[in-house]
Structure 1
Amino acid sequence: MSTSAYSRYRAAFVEALAQSLGVPASEIDAQVKPADPAHGDLSFPTFPLAKAQKKAPPAIAAGLAQNLKVPGLEIVAAGPYVNARFSLLPFTAEVIDAARAQGTRYGGGDSGAGKTVVMDYSSPNIAKPIAFHHIRSTVIGHAVANLHRALGYRVEGINYLGDWGKQFGLVAVGFQEYGDPTKRQDMAHLVKVYVQANQRAEKEPAFDERARDFFRRMEANDAEALALWKEFRETSIRDFLRIYARLGIRFEHIEGESFYQDKMEPVIEEISRTVGVKQSEGALIVDLPYEENEPPVLLKKNDGSTLYATRDLAAAIDRHERFHFDKSLYVVATDQALHFRQLFRVLEAMGRDFVDRMVHVNFGRVHGMSTRQGNVVLLTDVLDEARSRALTLVKNNIAEGKIQTDDPEALAEQIGLGAIFFGDLKNRRATDYTFDWDEILNFTGHTGAYLQYAHARACNILRKGGGAPTTYDASRLTLPEEQAVLRAIARLPVVVQEAADQQEPSYVARWLLDLAAEFSRYYTLGNQDRARRVLLEGDEPLKQARLALTDATRAALAAGLTLLGIATPENM
């Protein structure tokens, strides 16, 4: 995929400045920023040059602007800044043509070509339901994976299940006590059993010890224990896949902590040789210097069973050996920050140089979804509620003539899922946010529904206008509002790269809101002035140019929404 028009012109501006100043382009690149729209598209400050050149910044800017000649850019000085504005042509046509030609692939690039990123995200526990608190890891991970795919990376998405440990012992002994043999493959029944067993274990140490003993049997490769574990694991995965299919999310690999059951002893031996281990209260720990009150990294408990830190160390080494990754991203809550700091420290102390390519992509909490009883809020219940609420809104809007659709149920599902996805992804991932039904389903707020409506509106305009034009005259798109829409479209490739680099899908979410707002502003101009309507009468070439811009907007909105995993209805 070729470099975007925005990036090409920016690179040309940077190179021209570098040549004029006699310095490497790398020294200039970070200083070139988006300009105030009133003054241009790109801006370079001359303050840092004043001391060396013994001139006032405005004088330096004036001299540079006078000497710089870059095809496709209008360069002027504004006080101490050198500003560049993209010329109407060929920039306008380049942006529109790229968006229309690339469709949902628009915004992508090839900076990741030949590189591999391993993504660890979602990761529920078997024999437990996918709860609403899993939503952040799932949708953030999915969006970050999509961003990397768009840039040409080979993505190895891993759903790393919690399928090993004492919690499975609780399910097993719980089933012996409370299970119905006819419901062995019923996920809801397994969850009920787990809840009962967990409550009992908290009150009865002897019952808790039975669960621990069952897990020890699993680690000792007891055939009966492993057979039950495998059966319940498969039941869980079937239920998980049903939910992921509804969300439109797929993983390249579904693996669990159990995958590393036979790979931990070699890792413990390597740690013993390189870093050192020691006994502490009967447990085996990594012999690192620890800060005051910092819990140690446990490799084995005093009963000889392993912990997830041991399995994560084995997993990190195995993933590097399997995939030779350029990045390994763990989309896990901020609550686990200490675990990942310690994981990376141990790998570094082991001399594993790939650790500098590993990143904990942390995220904050969701507030506002707890129940009075403190019960877990199931993700499926939230998805059903979202669809139900969206269906009510859709039917009301149909009755008022605001929405047209042949399938209200399907549209409600798309709006409901989009509301939940966007309600999460518009927030910076490291921050907490509060879930609010009325807010996320507002058709006029900063919501998924608002963006889906903007996409559907663009589709509707194209239908009314006879479809997207095959040819058009880009020189006719001279209105400031048209150019504002165009420049918003042009920024997506830059936003995608920044979002991938920072593992921050909210950059794309905010860009979508910007584009939708600019398009709405442009479209509604025609309400006051007929000459500014998209579907203009009496000037067919101008109408075709405006339809081409509308088509590019539709394509760009679809590309951004698709990156976030949100459906793009054409009727709404």
Structure 2
Amino acid sequence: MNPSVYSRYRTAFVEALAQALGVPASEIDSQVKPADPAHGDLSFPTFPLAKAQKKAPPAIAASLAQSVKVPGLEVVAAGPYVNAKFAQLPFTAEVIDTARSQGVRYGGGDQGAGKTVVIDYSSPNIAKPIAFHHIRSTMIGHSVANLHRALGYKVEGINYLGDWGKQFGLVAVGFQEYGVPERRKDMAHLVEVYVKANKRAEAEPAFDERARDFFRRMEAGESEALALWKEFRETSVRDFERIYARLGIQFEHMEGESFYQGKMEPVIDEIARKPGVKESQGATIVDLPYAENEPPVLLKKNDGSTLYATRDLAAAIDRHERFQFEKSLYVVATDQALHFRQLFRVLEAMGREWSKRMVHVNFGRVHGMSTRKGNVVLLNDVLDEAKTRALEKVQENIQAGKIQTNNAEELAEQIGLGAIVFGDLKNRRTTDYTFDWEDVLAFEGHSGPYLQYAHARTCNILRRGGGAPASYDASLLTLPEEQAVLRVIARLPVVVQEAADQAEPSFIARWLLDLAAEFSRYYTLGNQDRTKRVILEGNEPLKAARLALTDATRVALAAGLALLGIATPENM
């Protein structure tokens, strides 16, 4: 895939500046930034040159602007800055044609071709339902995976299930006490059992010890214990897969901590050689320098059972051997920051150089969640309620003549899911946010339904205008508002790269809001001045050009929403 229109012009501007100054392009690349829209598209400050050239920055800028010539760019000085503006042609045609020809792949590239990225995300615990807070890891991870796929990486998405440990012992002994045998394949019943068992274990040490003993039997490979574990695990996975299918998510691998059972001793032996291990109160810990009050990295408890740090070390080594990854990302809450710092430190101390390519993609918490059923925060309940609330709005809008659809239920599901997903992904992932039903389901403002409506509106305009034109005259798109829409569309490939580099889906969310707002501003011009209408009857060439711009906007909105995992209804 060719470099994006924006990147191509930016590179040409950087290289022309470098040539004029007699320096390598790498020296000034980071200094070329987006300009204030009133002054152009790209800007280069001359302040750093003043001392060496012994001239005032405005004089340097004026001289540079005269000597820098780039086809397709208008280069001018504005005080101490050298600004470049995309010339209307060929920029207008290049942006529209690139978007329309690439379709939903628009914004992508081939920077990751031949490279693999491993992404560990979602990762619920078996025998527990997927709670609403799992939306963060699940959807951030899904979007980060989409961003890397768009850039040509081979993505190995891993749903690393919490399917090993004492909590399973609680489910097992809880089932012996509270379970109904004929409901052993019922996920809801397993949850009831787990809640009762957990409460009892907290109050009754002997019951807690029974759970620990069951887990020890699992680790020892006892067939009866493993058979029960396998059955309950399959019940959980079936329930999880139903929710993932609803969200449109597929993992390349669904493997849990149990995958590494029996594979940890070689890892512990290797750590014993380098950097070393030592005993502490009967437990085996990694011999590292620890900060004051920093808990040590435990490899084995005093009863000989392993911990998830041990399994994570085995998993990291295994993933590098299997995939030879360029990057390995862990989409896990900020609460686990110490765990990942220590995990990476241990691997580095073992001499595993590739540990530097491992990244903890951390995220904040969601506050304020409740549903009409009360303070139930199961993800599926939230998705159901989102659909119910969306359906109410859809039916209101159908009755008011604002929405036309043949399937209100399907549209409500798309809007409800889009609302929940966008309500999460529009936030910077490291920040906490407060969930608000009115905010996420609003048809106006910074919401998923607003963006889905923006996409549906472009589809509707194209239908009313007779479809997207095969040919058009780009020179006719001279309105400032038309050029503003084009500049946002042109930015998507750059935003995709930045979002992937920083594992930050909110960059795409913010770009989508910018595009929807600019197109809305442009489209509503026709309310005051009929000559500015998109569907301008009586002037077919101008109508065709504006419909081509509308089509490019539709494509770009669809591409951005797809990166976030949000459906794009064509009627709303």
TM-score normalized with structure 1 length: 0.99
The answer on whether the counterparts of 2:369 and 2:375 sit within 8 Å (CA) in structure 1 is: no
Structure 1 SS opposite 2:289: coil
Q: Does 1:361 align with 2:361?
A: yes
Give the Cα separation in 2 of the matches to 1:371 and 1:551: 39
Give the Cα separation in 2 of the matches to 1:375 and 1:117: 38
The answer on whether the counterparts of 2:371 and 2:385 sit within 8 Å (CA) in structure 1 is: no
Give the Cα separation in 1 of the matches to 2:371 and 2:482: 48
- Trace 1:489-568 onto structure 2 (pairs within 5 A): 489-568=489-568
Letter in 2 for 1:451: L
Counterpart of 2:93?
Answer: 93
Q: Does 1:222 align with 2:222?
A: yes
Letter in 1 for 2:304: G
Give the Cα separation in 2 of the matches to 1:353 and 1:373: 50
* Cα distance, 1:103 vs structure 2: 1.1
Give the Cα separation in 1 of the matches to 2:208 and 2:374: 22
- Trace 1:274-293 onto structure 2 (pairs within 5 A): 274-293=274-293
- Trace 1:198-347 onto structure 2 (pairs within 5 A): 198-347=198-347
Give the Cα separation in 2 of the matches to 1:62 and 1:140: 46
Counterpart of 2:19?
Answer: 19
Structure 2 SS opposite 1:85: strand
Gaps of 5+ in 1: none
1:242-267 Cα shifts (integer Å, max 9, x gaps) = 10000001100000000011211000
Structure 2 SS opposite 1:428: coil
Give the Cα separation in 2 of the matches to 1:401 and 1:305: 64
Letter in 1 for 2:178: Y
Structure 1 SS opposite 2:285: strand
Letter in 1 for 2:104: T
1:376-430 Cα shifts (integer Å, max 9, x gaps) = 6110100000000000000001111111111000000000000000000000000
The alpha-carbon distance between structure 1 residues 92 and 373, as it changes in their structure 2 partners (threshold 3 A), is closer
Counterpart of 1:37?
Answer: 37
Give the Cα separation in 2 of the matches to 1:518 and 1:164: 51
Letter in 1 for 2:276: G
Q: Does 1:132 align with 2:132?
A: yes
Give the Cα separation in 1 of the matches to 2:335 and 2:374: 19
Give the Cα separation in 1 of the matches to 2:547 and 2:372: 52
Give the Cα separation in 2 of the matches to 1:543 and 1:176: 72
Letter in 2 for 1:131: A
Give the Cα separation in 1 of the matches to 2:550 and 2:415: 22
Letter in 2 for 1:313: L
Give the Cα separation in 1 of the matches to 2:321 and 2:467: 51
Letter in 2 for 1:523: Y
* Cα distance, 1:371 vs structure 2: 8.4
Give the Cα separation in 2 of the matches to 1:419 and 1:259: 35
Q: Does 1:439 align with 2:439?
A: yes
Letter in 1 for 2:482: E
- Fraction of identical pairs, as percent: 84
Runs of 4+ in 1 over 3 A off after TM superposition: 370-376
Counterpart of 1:179?
Answer: 179
1:198-243 Cα shifts (integer Å, max 9, x gaps) = 0110110000000000000000000000011011111110110010
Counterpart of 1:105?
Answer: 105
Structure 1 vs Structure 2 CA RMSD:
1.1
Give the Cα separation in 2 of the matches to 1:93 and 1:45: 29
The alpha-carbon distance between structure 1 residues 242 and 371, as it changes in their structure 2 partners (threshold 3 A), is closer
Q: Does 1:60 align with 2:91?
A: no
Structure 1 SS opposite 2:160: strand
Structure 1 SS opposite 2:31: coil
Counterpart of 1:149?
Answer: 149
How many residues are paired up?
Answer: 572
Letter in 1 for 2:541: P
The alpha-carbon distance between structure 1 residues 193 and 156, as it changes in their structure 2 partners (threshold 3 A), is same
* Cα distance, 1:375 vs structure 2: 6.5
Give the Cα separation in 2 of the matches to 1:23 and 1:502: 29
Counterpart of 2:418?
Answer: 418
Letter in 2 for 1:211: A
The alpha-carbon distance between structure 1 residues 530 and 373, as it changes in their structure 2 partners (threshold 3 A), is closer
Give the Cα separation in 2 of the matches to 1:202 and 1:214: 17
Give the Cα separation in 1 of the matches to 2:399 and 2:103: 33
Letter in 2 for 1:291: A
Letter in 2 for 1:527: N
Gaps of 5+ in 2: none
TM-score normalized with structure 2 length: 0.99
Give the Cα separation in 1 of the matches to 2:336 and 2:122: 14
Give the Cα separation in 2 of the matches to 1:468 and 1:336: 50
Give the Cα separation in 1 of the matches to 2:192 and 2:131: 14
Structure 1 SS opposite 2:37: coil
